[in-house]
Amino acid sequence: MPYYILHSTFIAYIGMYVISWDMDVLSKYVINTVLAFAATAICYEILRRFNTTRFLFGMRLKKSTNGE
C-alpha cells in the first residue's frame, strides 16, 4: 500500500517538470519512469524505518529489539 501511495505522487511531480523538456516522448517516459521509481524506493526505505510513519501508511509496526 505505501508503495502505491508514494509512486503516484512522484510520477505526477516529476512528470510536471519532464513534460516541458524538448525531447521525444519515449525519452520523457523513460526518464519519468526511472526517476519516479528511484524516488519511490528511497522514500519507502526511509518511511519504513520508523513506527510512526509505518502506522500512518498502514504497515505493521516493528517490535522493539532492545531485549525487553
pTM score, two decimals?
Answer: 0.74
- The answer to whether residue 68 sits within a structural domain is no
pLDDT recorded at residue 53: 76
Give dist(CA 67, CA 54) in Å, integer.
21
CB 17 within 8 A of CB 47: no
pLDDT recorded at residue 14: 95
The number of distinct structural domains making up the chain is 1
Find where cell 519519468 sits.
32
The range of the structural domain enclosing residue 27 comes to 2-56
What is the widest separation between alpha-carbon atoms in the chain? 58
- The answer to whether residue 36 sits within a structural domain is yes
- The answer to whether residue 14 sits within a structural domain is yes
Residues in the chain with pLDDT values less than 50 = none
